[in-house]
Chain A
Amino acid sequence: MKTNFQSPQQFFRQRRLRLGIVLAILLVIYGVSMVLVNFQTLASLMQVPAGLIWLFKNFIPTERSISYLGPILYQLWRTLIVAVSSTICASLLGLILAILGAKTTSPLPGLRLVIRFGASLLRNIPVVAWAMILLFSFKQSDFTGFLALFFMTLGYLTRAFTETIEDLDGEKLQALQAVGANYFQCVFCGVLPEVASTLTSWVLYMIENNLRDATLVGILTGTGVGFLFNHYFKSFRYDAAGLIVLLIAVLVICLELTSTQIRRAIA
């Protein structure tokens, strides 16, 4: 029997070699990208501290910016609401699609492929493209942002839900079928109670995510708090823009903490 034990020296030499090759490849990728993007690493990195100092000088909300608080809070509330409602609507439709498309519960095998493909399509069109496409038809209304977030969330949640349902123990379903439960009884009494808490934590995660994306969609489509930020920012009212950034950060952190608490409580 041949044993190919390496001496420690050999092992370490081989590991260093492999590490070196990986690092070299990464450096080449970095260099090529730097040229393609036309990015000056050192010059830019030197500017970062100056940028931060500028940020703290100009973006600190002053007494003057308190007068903007009313419209900002209103738009922030609207943005939050659009983020929540688009996520919930998408999750309802996503749940139906996931039940139809998951391997364990799918009534038709052909349907599975269609749903998989559709979800992947929805997910991979960037939210920017959604916003721009919808802006044509739905103009500058909350509805544009709602639909853009809705389609993207639908893609993500359908995939996540499908995988969660497929992870479920198939024997439980078999047992239910064996005692004579029909399809709907299987789904509503066997599958849904089992996956409810996992699905809810996915929904909470998507709400956090959508709140962040809602700002971007707002900048592009002229709605919500993103539009307000863009407006103040482009008219050089940096203190008001800074107030918006601060409030968004506070809201996102609060949401994160709440959803962590909820996730822990329902697990």
Chain B
Amino acid sequence: MIENSQSDSKVVQPTPNSKRITLLTKPRLILRGVLIALALVTVYSLVTLDAGNLKFSDAFQSLGANLQAMFLHPGVGQDTWSLLLRALTTSVALAMLTTLLGAFFAFFIAVFSARNLVPSWLATSIKAVMAFIRSIPTILWVLIYSVVMGLGANAAVVGLTFHSIAYLVKAYSESIEETSADTIEALKASGVGFWPIIFQAILPSIIPALLSWTFIRFEINFANAVAVGAAAGADDIGYYLFMASGFYFNFHEVGLIVYLLLGVAIVLEVVSMKLRGHYLQKN
């Protein structure tokens, strides 16, 4: 027989204090916790949802009939084509106006809330104010301003601009903060002033980001402009949508307006895709 000469060979013992390898890392556990919590809230809310003695089969049936009237037989109703198209143009103009105004003010505020350009306390306080403005829904700003300025275009523009500024300041200042500190330091060391640094060094490098954020805001502002017309009575397409659905109960006109809005939204999406593609190629 062949004996193993080293009978007392060491058996490799797993060291007791080594970590167990498991798929459940901490991020995974947190993820599961969050998902479970959200699921619980959803179940609770679906159970307690106030359906207000609604018969679901009837409701869905009438929804089907309404959708059919809207999308298969759109019509102008008691307004005219020219009126609706004019209102649509007003909505687009409202969105453009508020986006341009918002972008203009937001850029200058963003410069003073970028951590790599100004002292930290200034940046933090401006950002806190902007976070507060941003957290209040746009429509509430418009309603609040409509009391001060009277219902109409001025209140709508100021209200929408307010929220646009707060949104864009966040986006812009984050873009500005991505500029490397070395660049700024080098320019400062060679004696370049504050504004030349911004316009000659920072601005050219962040233009694609600014452009894409501004365009996203433009799309949001268009949706908001419609909402403002419906809820605060600015004279745009949202107002006609609100009147047609809430007062005349004219499904055909609602359908037509939805088609018009869809058309604009699709044009905007195509333009934004082209614009982004163009800028990405160039840079």
Interface presence of A161 (CB below 8 A) = no
State the Cβ distance, A41 to closest chain B Cβ, in Å: 8
Known contacts A37-B153, A128-B226, A266-B27; A133/B94 CB under 8 A? no
Q: When the two chains form the complex, which single residue of A32, A44, A125 contacts B258, counting CB atoms closer than 8 Å?
A: A125
Let me know if B126 is at the binding interface, CB within 8 A. Answer: no
A interface residues, how many (CB within 8 angstroms): 73
Say if the beta carbon of B135 comes within 8 Å of chain A: yes
Question: Quick one: which of A30, A41, A124, A142 contacts B49, CB cutoff 8 A?
Answer: A142
Closest CB-CB distance, A161 to chain B, in whole Å? 15
Q: Are A39 and B137 closer than 8 Å at their CB atoms?
A: no
- Could you say which of A1-9, A46-54, A63-71 contacts chain B? A46-54
Docked Cα-Cα span, A124 to B264, in Å, equals 9
Give Cα A39 to B39, complex, Å: 47
Q: A216 contacts B231, CB within 8 Å?
A: yes
A129 touches B154 (CB 8 A): no
CB of A100 closer than 8 Å to a CB of B: no
- Alpha-carbon distance between A84 and B39 when the two chains are bound, in angstroms: 9
Q: Kindly specify which of B1-9, B13-21, B60-68, B115-123 makes contact with the partner chain.
A: B60-68
Residues on B with beta carbons closer than 8 Å to the beta carbon of A30: 96-97, 100-101
Measured in the bound complex, the distance between the Cα atoms of B101 and A22 in whole Å is 15
Q: Which residues of the other chain, A, contact B67 by a CB distance below 8 angstroms?
A: 133
Contact with B along A117-159 (1 / 0, CB 8 A): 0001100111111001111111111110010000000000000
A108 contacts B by Cβ under 8 Å: no
Which secondary structure dominates where chain A touches chain B?
A: helix
**Could you tell me the distance in whole angstroms from the C-beta of B154 to the nearest C-beta in chain A?**
4
The residue that B241 contacts in the complex, of A40, A85, A129, A213, with Cβ under 8 A, is: A129
Interface centre among A127, A133, A203 (most CB of B within 10 A): A133
Contacts of A39 in B (CB 8 A): 97, 153-154, 157
Q: DSSP majority for the B interface?
A: helix
CB distance from B101 to the nearest CB of A (A): 8
Contact residues in B for A82 (Cβ distance below 8 Å): 45, 49
Question: How many of B's residues come within 8 Å of A, CB to CB?
Answer: 74
- A50, A81, A233: which contacts B143 (Cβ < 8 A)? A233
Kindly list chain A residues whose C-beta atoms are within 8 Å of the C-beta of B39: 88
Tell me the residues in window 6-64 of chain B with beta carbons closer than 8 Å to chain A beta carbons: 26-28, 30-31, 34-35, 38-39, 41-42, 44-46, 48-52, 54, 59-60, 62-63
Does residue A26 face the partner (Cβ distance < 8 Å to B)? Answer: yes
In the complex the two chains form, what is the Cα distance from A142 to B266 in whole Å? 30
CB-based nearest A residue for B220: A209
A147 CB to closest chain B CB (Å) equals: 9
Once the chains bind, are B149 and A51 in contact (CB under 8 Å)?
yes
Check B238 against A128 for contact (C-beta < 8 Å).
Answer: yes
The distance in angstroms between the C-alpha atoms of A17 and B179, with both chains bound, is 26
Determine whether A262 belongs to the interface, using a CB cutoff of 8 Å to chain B: yes
> A265 to chain B: which residues have CB within 8 Å?
26-27, 30
What is the CB-to-nearest-CB distance from A261 to chain B, in angstroms, rounded to a whole number?
A: 10
How long is the Cα–Cα vector from A184 to B145 in the complex, in angstroms?
A: 54
Within the complex, what minimum Cβ distance (angstroms) separates B254 from chain A?
7
Contacts of A220 in B (CB 8 A): 230-231, 242
**Chain A window 86-112, contacts with chain B (Cβ cutoff 8 Å), 1 for yes, 0 for no:** 001100000000000000000000000
Could you say which residues of chain B place their CB within 8 Å of the CB of A43? Answer: 154
In Å, the complex CA distance between A30 and B94 comes to 10
B149 with A215: CB separation less than 8 A: no
Q: Per a CB cutoff under 8 Å, which of B63, B97, B135, B139 touches A137?
A: B63
Would you call B137 and A253 a contact (CB within 8 A)? no
- Judge whether A164 is part of the interface by a CB distance below 8 angstroms: no
Give me the interface of A with B, judged by CB distance under 8 Å.
Answer: 26, 29-30, 32-34, 36-41, 43-44, 47-48, 50-51, 54-55, 59, 78, 81-82, 84-85, 88-89, 120-121, 124-129, 132-143, 146, 196-197, 200, 203, 212-213, 215-216, 219-220, 229-230, 233, 245, 248-250, 252-253, 256, 262, 265-267
18 A–B contacts, CB within 8 A, in A order: A30-B96, A37-B156, A51-B148, A54-B147, A55-B148, A82-B49, A88-B41, A132-B242, A136-B62, A136-B251, A137-B59, A137-B66, A200-B34, A216-B138, A216-B227, A216-B231, A265-B26, A266-B28
